[in-house]
Chain A
């Protein structure tokens, strides 16, 4: 189990390249949505004042 996890993470020696790309895609999308959502709530609360 632990061994298969480590082969999964290593990605046949391409681990660093592969995980970087997936992390970039996840971080970019999550960051944008969180950022936009925060700004939306901020504007919404200012609108109500």
Chain B
């Protein structure tokens, strides 16, 4: 297992791995996304309180989950890379950061557009909204750090340390709706007892969440390959 991981982390083997996996990931992403769109826009019933307006949930919640998921994965890979010196670890985190930032921004924008008709405001300094905004700054901070430090080793180390320290924000985002009782509604799905959402709303939500993760996989492999090839060419963007 360990040998296999180290082998996979070598660039030539990684290219073969990408060539094999990419078409399947892309196909799975597109299929789940199409079905997810149809289910969430057409098949799912209207909400008894928010009417058709609640359908934003099928974009907002999967985007929010993915924004947290990418961060946790990045921080874990950074920690592993720091300890066991995987060559691909910094490539993995550098490729993930713009994707994570994009989904964090999508979460904030769709949340804002949902908040306007339902709460009557685009933005409040609610704990959930603020901690998600801090997540965006963590992603942007990591990207800025990658672009400013020119020495490869210190850049990789500084990036990894920033990611690991920033993990404290993740439980704050998750529990913010319980610790501070403000405008954002509490969790209805990520609960220890059974979720309080109707199956016809829960299934498309989970399908969209899977589809978003498949997108992350597809885009991640493409981005990692671009960074690796750029490095080999001696381009200085990530070298």
Interface string of B86-128 (1 = CB under 8 A from A): 0000000000000100100010011001101100000000000
Q: List A3-44 residues whose CB lies under 8 Å from chain B.
A: 8, 11-14, 17-18, 20-22, 24-25, 28-29, 32-33, 36-37, 39-40, 43-44
Check A40–B63 contact: CB distance below 8 A.
no
Docked-complex contact B113 and A13, CB < 8 angstroms: no
Tally of contact residues, B, Cβ under 8 A: 34
Q: Which residues of B contact A29 (CB under 8 A)?
A: 33, 215, 219
CB distance from B60 to the nearest CB of A (A): 7
The closest CB in chain B to the CB of A7 belongs to: B52
Contact of A21 among B33, B60, B102, B225 (CB under 8 A): B60
Q: How far is the CA of A22 from the CA of B40 in the complex (A)?
A: 10
Instruction: Collect the chain B residues with CB atoms within 8 Å of residue A46's CB.
Output: 233
Chain A residues with CB under 8 A of B146? none
Whole-angstrom distance between the alpha carbons of A9 and B114 in the complex?
17
Contact of B102 among A17, A18, A32 (CB under 8 A): A32
Option from A14, A24, A37 in Cβ contact (under 8 Å) with B222: A37
A-B residue pair count with CB separations less than 8 angstroms: 78
Given known A25-B59, A44-B229, contact A18–B53 (CB-CB < 8 A): yes
The B interface is mostly helix, strand or loop, or mixed, namely: helix
Given A32-B99, A47-B232, verify A17-B218 contact (CB < 8 Å).
no
Residues of A within 8 A of B (CB): 8, 11-14, 17-18, 20-22, 24-25, 28-29, 32-33, 36-37, 39-40, 43-44, 46-47
Between-chain CB contacts (< 8 Å), 25 pairs: A11-B53, A11-B55, A13-B51, A13-B52, A14-B52, A17-B53, A17-B116, A17-B117, A18-B52, A21-B56, A21-B109, A22-B37, A22-B41, A22-B59, A24-B106, A24-B110, A28-B102, A29-B219, A32-B99, A32-B219, A33-B26, A33-B219, A36-B222, A39-B226, A40-B225
